[in-house]
């Protein structure tokens, strides 16, 4: 199972994401890193485990304040060999390429039919799609949720209300997406607290999970990562 650490960045500073309420996010304090900058946090994750992939949310880009264009380059230079998934509010016409960075397209950032047509025209291995949910509500064009043929090879089930909340992952929503994914690789995001949660998600069909709070809090340990990564 793939465990992908998450770094949320707002105004250039890593923040502690909680329940998707971005205006309330505060600068991250973590025992894994001294100081509070994205590179230090990323290296802190690598001190725990040799993660092959990291996910970075540029919240300024997602919220329309302008992307931190240097952030992917800074992280790529500091983390040779680590693949970066970058969610920065990019449109389907702005996919990242090269440098080990892969665009994540969030459904909450998509408009209507034009965006869906542009997505349909992109190679299925050129981006990752995040299907974003807040509670029972899907954030994005309903046609995207209903038509799995529009999904690329990798899909994240992002349950924003559970991010950083310690409530456990939304297995019901994950299972519903897995059932329709037709062999696509599905990743869970939001609410993962422990090795037991990871095991349950794997049993529900997730090939991986995005995790942050549990790594900083130590409720998922280096030993847990060694155990789950081989399954």
Give me the CATH number covering residue 148.
3.20.20.70
Q: What is the CA radius of gyration of the chain?
A: 16
From residue 219, give the alpha-carbon distance in Å to each of 21, 53, 94, 192, 225.
23, 20, 37, 10, 11
Question: Alpha-carbon distance 29 to 37, whole Å?
Answer: 10
Name the residue with higher pLDDT: 151 or 112.
Answer: 151
The pLDDT of residue 223 is above 70: yes
Question: Alpha-carbon distance 63 to 81, whole Å?
Answer: 29
| This model's pTM is above 0.85 | yes
Proportion of the chain above pLDDT 90, given as a percent? 59
| Number of C-beta neighbours around residue 153 at 10 A | 15
User: Among 228, 188, 193, which residue's Cα sits nearest to residue 210?
Assistant: 188
Report residue 160's pLDDT band, with 50, 70 and 90 as the boundaries.
Answer: confident
Among 9-23, 76-90, 207-221, which is the least confidently predicted range? 9-23
Rounded mean pLDDT of 19-43? Answer: 81
Q: How many domains does the chain have?
A: 1
pLDDT at 231: 61
List the beta bridge partners of residue 84. 54, 101
Rounded mean pLDDT of 151-157? Answer: 96
Helices 222-229, 195-203: axis angle to 10 degrees equals 20
Question: Alpha-carbon distance 67 to 50, whole Å?
Answer: 28
Task: Provide the domain limits for residue 7.
Answer: 2-229
For residue range 42-87, list pLDDT tens digits in order. Answer: 999 999 999 999 999 998 888 878 778 888 889 999 999 999 999 9
Instruction: Enumerate helices (H) and strands (E) in the chain, giving the number of each.
Output: 9, 11
Burial class of residue 97 in the structure, from the number of CB atoms within 10 Å of its CB (0-12 exposed, 13-18 middle, 19+ buried)? exposed
8-state DSSP, 20: T
For residue range 185-194, list pLDDT tens digits in order. Answer: 999 998 899 9
């Amino acid at each position: 199972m793939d465990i992908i650490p998450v770094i949320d960045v707002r105004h250039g500073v890593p923040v502690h994401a909680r329940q998707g309420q971005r205006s309330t996010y505060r600068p991250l304090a973590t025992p894994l890193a001294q100081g509070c900058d994205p590179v230090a946090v990323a290296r802190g994750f690598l001190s725990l485990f040799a993660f092959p992939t990291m996910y970075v949310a540029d919240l300024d880009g997602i919220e329309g304040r302008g992307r931190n264009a240097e952030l992917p380059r800074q992280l790529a230079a500091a983390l040779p060999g680590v693949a970066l998934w970058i969610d920065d509010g990019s449109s389907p016409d702005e996919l990242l390429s090269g440098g080990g960075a892969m665009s994540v397209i969030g459904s909450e950032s998509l408009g209507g039919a034009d965006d869906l047509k542009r997505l349909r025209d992109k190679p299925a291995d050129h981006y990752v799609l995040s299907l974003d949910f807040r509670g029972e509500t899907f954030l994005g064009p309903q046609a995207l949720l209903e038509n799995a043929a529009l999904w690329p090879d990798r899909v994240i089930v992002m349950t924003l209300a559970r991010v950083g909340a310690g409530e456990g992952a939304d297995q019901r929503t994950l299972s519903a997406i897995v059932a329709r994914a037709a062999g696509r690789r599905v990743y869970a995001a939001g609410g993962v607290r422990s090795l037991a949660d990871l095991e349950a998600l794997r049993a529900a069909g997730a090939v991986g999970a995005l995790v942050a709070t549990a790594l900083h809090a130590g409720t998922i340990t280096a030993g847990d990562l060694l155990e789950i990564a081989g399954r």
